[in-house]
Structure 1
Amino acid sequence: MPSAKSYVQEQLELDDCLNFNEEVKSSVEPRWKRKALQAKTPRSSHKRSRSKTPKRGKSTPQHDRFIPNRGAMDLANAHFNLMKENSSGASNVMESPTRAEFNKTLANSMGAGKSRVLAFKKKAPAPPEGYENNLKVLYTQNKEKLARTSKPARHIPSAPERILDAPDLLDDYYLNLVDWGASNMLAVALGQTVYLWNAETGGIEELCQCEGEDDYITSVKFVQEGGGYLAVGSNFGETKLWDIETCKLLRSMDGHSARVSSLSWNQHILSSGSRDSTIVHHDVRVAEHKVASLQGHLQEVCGLTWSPDGQMLASGGNDNLLCLWDARYAEGGRQTVQSPRLKITDHLAAVKALAWCPHQRNVLASGGGTADRTIKIWNAANGACLNSVDTGSQVCSLLWNPHEKELLSSHGFSENQLCLWKYPSMVKTKELSGHSARVLHLALSPDGTTVCSGAADETLRFWKVFEALNPVKRQKRVKGAAGASRVGLSGMNIR
């Protein structure tokens, strides 16, 4: 049992530990004592001493933390000062000036309302007399140049200029029954008869009629130069050549076992596409007219067109194929070509709408049927697809603007409209509606301004879609055409 002395000693030690008012003894002097000592010591005699880390083994005590001396703190005085500051801040907030007083003070500091930072009651001061801006001439020249180069947007009428009835115009997607010749004559096949409509006088004349009871006209095509000759294809596979001035049959050419759905001229060579899936080249100058037969399609050839330079033939068929043929196959003796130079299989429906670009060499536009609905732009040199646009409806025919980079398309199911596209961006700029059935055919007037559309609603509508050629450009084209060598049918012996 512990003694009473040891118990009392332990009690005193415990009381000393619990007494927080007693000054804590530490070998490290408080900061306020060191500051007071430095203030008493003169600066001249004060020398900075570099503290060195005590080496191990010496009797210098080591401390791991600083314990403040709470006995030296006056907590009551600190609390009083803190509350006094808070109360003075609150009183300042309560005694802040009003908005009116603030605005008045701000106005007085800026000159008592005599001057303002922003004032809109007066215009900017005028320049001194005789002053001229150095950039005035530059801006004026740019404005005049911009006014000369900028072209105002042309107006495209939304309604047709004229509407003609076309009874018995067959509703057949694969036929080509309307064409406009260079002599300003429009050829239209209505059932078994071909009619000529004079665009200048408005007169109508019957050119020919099929003899067979089950025969009917399936395609018409004017010769490119002169326009005095018209090729007519029939359901019985015959291709006939007519002189529209005398309304006489010049010759009849065979070569197909089914109807002739498409025709295209290349100077003296007439190419015909048929339901028998073949393409035949006819040389109309010689008695043995059949000079080549091309076999590349598997079904009816419904689209056929020669390039403007006459070096390439494009054909489209009901087998969803687009074929490109070289012109050399139409030259020389009789020959049969089993495969085209390029065979493109990107379309998902029949390819009837074909048109070569008159502004860029080897650029071809093609359109697909109901299951495809796209217009595709091709580089015919290598078969690369330059652009593809989903039109939303069946593409029946395509026609380029000869004066501007624009493409006109006619459509079937389900809108039955005409669409004008800007090339090469293929942005739709105009939509023409009026037909109540699919627009199967497009034909361009000789001056390149009016388009005739033939539809299954048995009407022909004439649209003023394109603008007339600039007189300067027209003169350049006339000079270029006069200097170029032309081969036509006027001086040929047609047998």
Structure 2
Amino acid sequence: MFDGHCMPVVSCRYNKARDLLATGDLQGDLMIWDMRQPKIPANSFKEAHKGRISGMSWCPWQPDLLATGNTRHQPTLKFWNLLTGLKSRERRVSHEVTSVQWLESEQELISSHKSTPEAIVFWNYPSLERCGTLTNDDDETNSTGLVSVKKSYQMIATSEESDSIYVWDLEQTRESMTSHRGQPSTVLSRRRSLIQLGLMR
């Protein structure tokens, strides 16, 4: 039984390399638990975000680095260095963050967002400059939820409020991306492949 959060925990992510568990709650508190001594948090960040911590992801090539994002109050991407126990950097974003995921092959962070045509945003790390987006093909502004990355094939899958899964082929779409000194690249379009959950292979 862990003792640390005062509000319901809404996100968590395990760090296999360090045997650590990160947890975030409704009021924005972030806790890091050493699973070898889990009774009290190894690190505690009170009000790490303003409001619900909606996404978190450990960096695969820098295992002491954790990325987090929040919804509603001042949506922000934040990065925590567990070696120092301090926030290393942050980036304000315009729409609520629903999830974050590292893209190891490009050393970028992917963030998904709510109520915006820009479903997915790619961020260079450590500069935190936008280097690409994936957008809806229509004018609807759906919420993009869970993001999963298939490393070997450079594909990501996202879920939306329509109860469908969208598969994005980064091998094809990245060919149209051209970065100009950190400025946003060419907008990428979604591949119109709707795969129902039970049929995905």
Residues in 1 aligned to 2:109 and 2:74: alpha-carbon distance in whole angstroms: 18
In structure 2, the CA distance between the partners of 1:313 and 1:407, relative to structure 1 (3 Å rule), is same
Q: How does 1:227-266 map to 2 (within 5 A)?
A: none
- Contact 2:105 2:151 (8 Å CA) reproduced: no
TM-score relative to the length of structure 1: 0.32
Provide the residue aligned with 1:455 in structure 2.
160
After TM superposition, list the pairs within 5 Å mapping 1:13-412 onto structure 2.
293-329=1-37, 337=39, 339-344=40-45, 345-412=47-114
CA distance in 1, matches of 2:126, 2:117: 24
In the TM superposition, what is the alpha-carbon distance from 1:414 to its structure 2 partner? 4.3
CA distance in 2, matches of 1:408, 1:465: 12
Structure 2 residue aligned with 1:490: none
- How far off is 1:426 after superposition? 0.6
One-letter amino acid of the structure 1 residue matched with residue 110 of structure 2: L
What secondary structure does 1:417 align onto? strand
- Whose helix proportion is higher, 1 or 2? 1
1:327–1:340 CA distance, 2 compared to 1 (3 A): same
Q: 1:100-127 CA distances to partner (integer Å, 9 max, x unpaired)?
A: xxxxxxxxxxxxxxxxxxxxxxxxxxxx
Q: Which has the higher contact order (CA 8 A, sep 6+)?
A: 2
What is the letter of the counterpart of residue 296 of structure 1? G
1:466 offset after TM fit, Å? 6.3
User: Secondary structure at 2:37's aligned position in 1?
Assistant: helix
Cα deviation, residue 448, structure 1: 5.3
Deviations 1:359-381 (A, max 9, x none): 11301100011113100111022
Q: What is the CA RMSD across the aligned residues, in angstroms?
A: 1.9
Whether the 8 Å CA contact 1:438–1:456 is kept in 2: the answer is yes
What is the Cα deviation at residue 416 of structure 1? 5.5
* Secondary structure of 2:74 counterpart: coil
* Partners of 2:27 and 2:53 in 1: CA distance: 8
Distance 1:346 1:430, change over 3 A: same
Amino acid at match of 2:57: A
Q: What amino acid sits opposite 2:107 in the alignment?
A: K
Check the 8 A contact 1:438/1:457 in 2, yes or no: no
Distance 1:314 1:408 in 2: 19
Matched, 1:443 2:148: yes
- Aligned sequence identity (%): 23
If the length of structure 2 is used for normalisation, what is the TM-score? 0.77
Superposed displacement of residue 351, structure 1? 0.6
Is the partner of 2:105 in helix, strand or coil?
coil
* Bigger share in strand: 2
Residues of 2 paired with 1:466 and 1:423: CA distance? 20
Aligned pair count reads 168
Output the CA distance in 2 between the equivalents of 1:357 and 1:382: 16
**For residues 62 and 171 of structure 2, what CA distance do their matches in structure 1 show?**
19
Secondary structure class of the residue paired with 1:364: strand
CA distance in 2: counterparts of 1:425 and 1:319, whole angstroms = 28
Q: Is the 8 A contact 2:116 2:141 kept in 1?
A: no
Structure 1 residue matching 2:27: 3-state secondary structure: coil
Distance 1:441 1:414 in 2: 15
Which amino acid counterpart does residue 432 of structure 1 have in structure 2? L
Q: Mark the runs of 5 or more structure 2 residues left unpaired by the alignment.
A: 173-201
Look up the match of 1:230. none
